[in-house]
């Protein structure tokens, strides 16, 4: 058996991109439960596993023979494995489960909560909220594994689809743990898994004590804050459906009570529309949920919340495969320097620009109650080949949008925070846009967990101070780049006030904001 004094966990990410970001969330949640964890690569896994008793495998869709040999040896020493979103027959055999194929959610919100079988996993929450859009489905094998949690839809109806399976070898999740809210419950779940591997390493009583102590300390800090008159309190809604799809009224009540002044709702992009567009491809969300722009505006009436249509300009990442294929045939999609297609569209293509601008016109004509249009991905793709005049092309587009979006309706834009680096990397000369009066407010995505780093960014963006009055600072509460708790959000809001910025916008409107951030902001700072 493994050394009983070694209580740490190992998180193995199979690639340096998306899966590493997910692995870092697992590490962060474990740290919240006072479980030391480190993230390693598969190459480092063999040596690292020698001193651990539980390993979390993220992105192991096709483990190599050498990796499987390492994992079998780990199991032979008594180690437990936790596998996320894999269809590997070899891993499934090791865990004693049966993969039954990949499946996309049949409808928005079909997989919105994981409900745990009472008593099946000691210390686990009753449920964990998470909206998953795809699954690598699996079934238990009689005598070898069992289902410990199933998926429910957003109305609370059980789908019967396994979310978690357990065996003597460990645990198998049919998706990944997403950083989309319910933070304490996800931390508790991971702590419970560690507790199976070593009961001395985690306890439910300890979890509850830590949650209570954090809440009390944060509340006391929040009560010492004071509001600032006239400040913009915005939030991005990436889903385009609000906190409660199908019930915009409930979302608006949450925003009003939280003293949110502006909602940036993502209802359109170059490859989708959550409303009955005659310009953009209509989305599955629109087909199943109806006109999200109209529903949002109707619910906002009388609340004091200003609604802005958030438009993804030059990215087609949320488009249907047929739409992406069509854009490739038209020659609209950018390529890398080596000629590979990307999901970004060409800002220099007149037809691409014309379609996005026509969508802006359409939104204004259809929805006169809109307070503004919010441009995002108004840039070249990070990895795409760009011409020498890349920045001039994007600036020309912003100028064309300005001519269409007439005051008092706002034109705002989300931008990269590091200037002037973003001019060369993605053609985003936002300082020039400010100086030329092309936008009413800029929203730099200043997503970082370090207050010192944020302070450096803010000092640069607030020079001269006249710029600060036209900048709403974007804070990454639940972004891939940063995760902030309520105290950190308050601290970062106070940093923006030091420089006289117009306000902040919080990314992203989800359960974390509703349950863990807004309640503290409205105690004092907002």
Arithmetic mean of pLDDT, 491-516: 96
Considering the chain, what is the average pLDDT of its residues? 95
User: Confidence class of residue 3 from pLDDT cuts 50, 70 and 90?
Assistant: very low
> pTM of this prediction?
0.89
Closest CA to 127 of 141, 113, 138: 113
User: Confidence class of residue 5 from pLDDT cuts 50, 70 and 90?
Assistant: very low
pLDDT at 295: 98
Percent of the chain surpassing pLDDT 70: 99
**Partners of 151 in beta bridges:** 114
Arithmetic mean of pLDDT, 166-183: 94
pLDDT digits (tens, 9 = 90+) for 323-346: 999 999 999 999 999 999 999 999
More confident of the two residues 179 and 85: 85
Arithmetic mean of pLDDT, 20-39: 95
pLDDT at 425: 96
pLDDT at residue 402 greater than cutoff 80: yes
pLDDT at 188: 98
pLDDT at residue 437 greater than cutoff 60: yes
**How far are the Cα atoms of 277, 472, 474, 477, 498 from residue 526, in angstroms, in the given order?**
36, 15, 16, 16, 16
Arithmetic mean of pLDDT, 7-19: 87
More confident of the two residues 108 and 234: 234
Q: What is the DSSP string of 458-514?
A: HHHHTSSHHHHTTBEEEEESB-SS-B--HHHHHHHHHHHHHTT-SEEEEE--SHHII
Peptide bond preceding 300 in cis form (omega within 30 of 0): no
pLDDT digits (tens, 9 = 90+) for 183-195: 999 999 999 999 9
């Amino acid at each position: 058996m493994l050394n009983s004094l070694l209580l740490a966990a190992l998180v193995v990410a199979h690639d340096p991109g998306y899966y590493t970001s997910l692995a870092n969330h697992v590490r962060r949640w474990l740290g919240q439960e006072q479980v030391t964890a480190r993230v390693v690569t598969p190459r480092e896994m063999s040596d690292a596993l020698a001193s651990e008793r539980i390993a979390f495998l993220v992105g192991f869709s096709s483990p190599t023979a050498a990796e499987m040999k390492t994992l079998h040896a780990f199991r032979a020493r008594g180690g437990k494995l936790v596998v996320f979103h894999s269809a590997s027959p070899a891993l499934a055999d090791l865990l004693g489960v049966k993969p039954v194929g990949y499946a996309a959610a049949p409808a928005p919100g079909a997989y919105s909560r994981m409900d745990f079988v009472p008593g099946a996993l000691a210390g686990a929450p009753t449920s964990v909220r998470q909206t998953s859009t795809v699954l690598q489905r699996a079934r238990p094998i009689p005598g070898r594994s069992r289902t410990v949690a199933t998926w429910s839809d957003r109305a609370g109806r059980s789908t019967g689809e396994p979310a978690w399976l357990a065996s003597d070898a460990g645990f198998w999740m049919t998706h990944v743990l997403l950083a989309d809210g319910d933070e304490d419950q996800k931390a508790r779940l991971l702590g419970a898994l560690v507790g199976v591997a070593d009961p001395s390493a985690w306890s439910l009583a300890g979890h509850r004590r830590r949650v209570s102590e954090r809440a009390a300390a944060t509340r006391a800090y929040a009560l010492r804050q004071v509001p600032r008159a006239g400040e913009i309190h915005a939030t991005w809604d990436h889903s385009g459906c609000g906190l409660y799809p199908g019930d915009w009224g409930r979302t608006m009540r949450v925003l009003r009570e939280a003293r949110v002044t502006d909602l940036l709702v993502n209802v359109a992009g170059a490859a989708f529309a959550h409303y009955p567009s005659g310009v953009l491809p209509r989305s599955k969300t629109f087909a199943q949920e109806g006109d999200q722009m109209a529903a949002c505006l109707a619910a906002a009436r009388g609340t004091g919340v200003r609604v802005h249509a958030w438009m993804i300009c030059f990215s087609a990442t949320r488009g249907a495969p047929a739409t992406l294929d069509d854009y490739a045939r038209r020659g609209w999609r950018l390529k890398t320097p080596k000629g590979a297609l990307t999901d970004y569209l060409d800002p220099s293509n007149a037809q691409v620009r014309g379609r996005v601008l026509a969508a802006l016109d359409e939104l204004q004509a259809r929805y006169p109650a809109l307070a503004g249009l919010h441009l995002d991905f108004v840039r070249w793709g990070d990895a795409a080949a760009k011409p020498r005049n890349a920045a001039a092309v994007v600036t020309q587009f912003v100028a064309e949008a300005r001519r269409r979006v007439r005051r008092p309706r706002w034109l705002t834009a989300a931008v990269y925070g590091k200037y002037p680096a973003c001019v060369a990397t993605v053609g985003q000369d936002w300082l020039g846009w400010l100086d030329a009066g092309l936008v009413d407010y800029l929203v730099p995505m200043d997503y970082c967990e370090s207050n010192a780093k944020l302070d450096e960014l803010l000092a640069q963006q607030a020079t001269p101070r006249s710029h600060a009055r036209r900048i709403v600072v974007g804070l990454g509460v639940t972004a891939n780049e940063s995760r902030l708790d309520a105290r950190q959000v308050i601290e970062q809001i106070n940093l923006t006030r030091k420089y006289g910025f117009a306000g902040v916008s919080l990314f992203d409107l989800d359960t974390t904001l509703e349950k863990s951030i807004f309640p503290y902001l409205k105690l004092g700072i907002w």
